[in-house]
Every structure is written in C-alpha cells, then in structure tokens.
C-alpha cells in the first residue's frame, strides 16, 4: 500500500514537472510581449497550482527519519519494536541478532512487536493517503481554475478584444 501511494505521488510529481516545463518553455516567453498581458494571471495560477501539487507530492513521499538505534535496556523493557527497520538500521549485526534472540524468547513480545509494526504502518499509510487526496484535489482545482482563467482572459482580454479596442480607438480619433 505504501508503494502504491508513493507511485501515485510520483506520477503527479512527474505530471506537474512536465506541466511546469511546458509552461516555462512555451507560455512564459510569450508574456514578454505587451500584447499578451492578458495571459499573465492565468499562467501564474496554472504554475502556482502545479508547484503546490509538486510540494505536496514530495511531502507524501518524503521518508521519516528515525534514530535507528536502541539499547539493551529498551529490549529488556520491551520498549522497542525490533521489526521496524527505522529502529535498528544503525545497529551492528551482533547487537541486532542479540535483540532478535531476546524477542523470539517471548511470544507476547513477538505479537506485541507485530501488532505495533502493523499499527504504525497504518498510521503512516493514513498520512500518505490523506496527503494524496490533497494533492489530487489541489491538482484538480488548479486545472479547473486555470482553464476558467484562460477562457476568461481570451474572451474578455484576448487578441480579438484588443483588436476591437484598437479599431474603436482609431475610428473615434
């Protein structure tokens, strides 16, 4: 499930990176021309929502770093979950083997560790999927608002409108 969440976040990260690349290469250079001023606000909205979606996607896939160490006292008091890699990744192999041997001596400790590992995995997945929902919502709202902003800009401020204003100015002067 965690891999699926990371894949979805990475897809949205890639899509938004492509959107921003296209905007930077095609749309933004056109904004230098004063006749294209009407495109500034829609472009800013478009890029802003893409950047926000990218930031949220990075947050969804960013790993949570833990200390990676425990003491023999933690094992004796059964305070450490030896099944979660974040609790032992900095330990030496002999220390970890000793701790696992202590774990398998106590059936309740094994079940408690399995239960904690599953529970905390669920907590992490809940956070990832909640963030994914925000990413998809932000992306969707951003696309809708951008399309509306571009449509309004073209309709009321676009090249045809500017041409009409130029013609009316020439005719009245």
pLDDT of 146 reads 92
Contacts of 32 (CB under 8 A, 6+ apart): none
Instruction: Please indicate whether residue 148 or residue 22 has the higher confidence score (pLDDT).
Output: 148
**Taking a C-beta distance cutoff of 8 angstroms, is the pair 80, 116 a contact?**
no
Mean pLDDT computed over every residue of the chain? 84
pLDDT of 169 reads 63
Could you read off the pLDDT of 22-79 as tens digits, one per residue? Answer: 888 887 788 888 888 888 888 899 999 999 999 998 888 887 767 777 878 888 888 8
Q: Give the rounded percent of residues in the chain with a pLDDT score beyond 90.
A: 16
* Residue 4 main-chain phi, psi, to 5 deg: -65, -45
Q: Does the structure show a pLDDT above 80 at 110? A: yes
Contacts of 41 (CB under 8 A, 6+ apart): 149, 153
pLDDT of 164 reads 65
> pTM here?
0.70
* Distance from C-alpha of 88 to C-alpha of 94, rounded to nearest angstrom: 12
**Taking a C-beta distance cutoff of 8 angstroms, is the pair 20, 57 a contact?**
no
Q: Rounded to whole angstroms, what are the CA distances from 74 to 33, 63, 82, 97?
A: 67, 24, 10, 15
Number of residues assigned to the chain: 173
Q: Where are the domains of the chain?
A: 2-63+130-172, 72-121
């Amino acid at each position: 499930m965690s891999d699926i969440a990371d894949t979805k976040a990475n897809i949205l990260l890639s899509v938004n990176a492509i959107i921003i690349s296209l905007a930077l290469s095609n749309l933004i250079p056109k904004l230098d021309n004063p006749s294209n001023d009407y495109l500034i606000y829609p472009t800013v909205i478009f890029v802003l929502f893409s950047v926000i979606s990218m930031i949220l996607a990075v947050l969804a896939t960013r790993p949570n770093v833990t200390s990676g160490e425990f003491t023999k006292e933690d094992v004796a008091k059964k305070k450490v979950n030896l099944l979660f890699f974040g609790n032992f990744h900095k330990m030496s192999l002999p220390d970890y083997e000793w701790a696992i041997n202590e774990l398998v001596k106590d059936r309740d400790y094994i079940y408690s560790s399995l239960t904690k590992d599953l529970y905390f995995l669920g907590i992490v997945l809940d956070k990832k999927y909640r963030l994914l929902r925000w990413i998809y919502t932000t992306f969707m709202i951003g696309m809708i608002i951008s399309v509306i902003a571009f449509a309004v800009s073209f309709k009321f401020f676009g090249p045809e409108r500017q041409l009409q204003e130029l013609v009316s100015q020439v005719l009245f002067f």
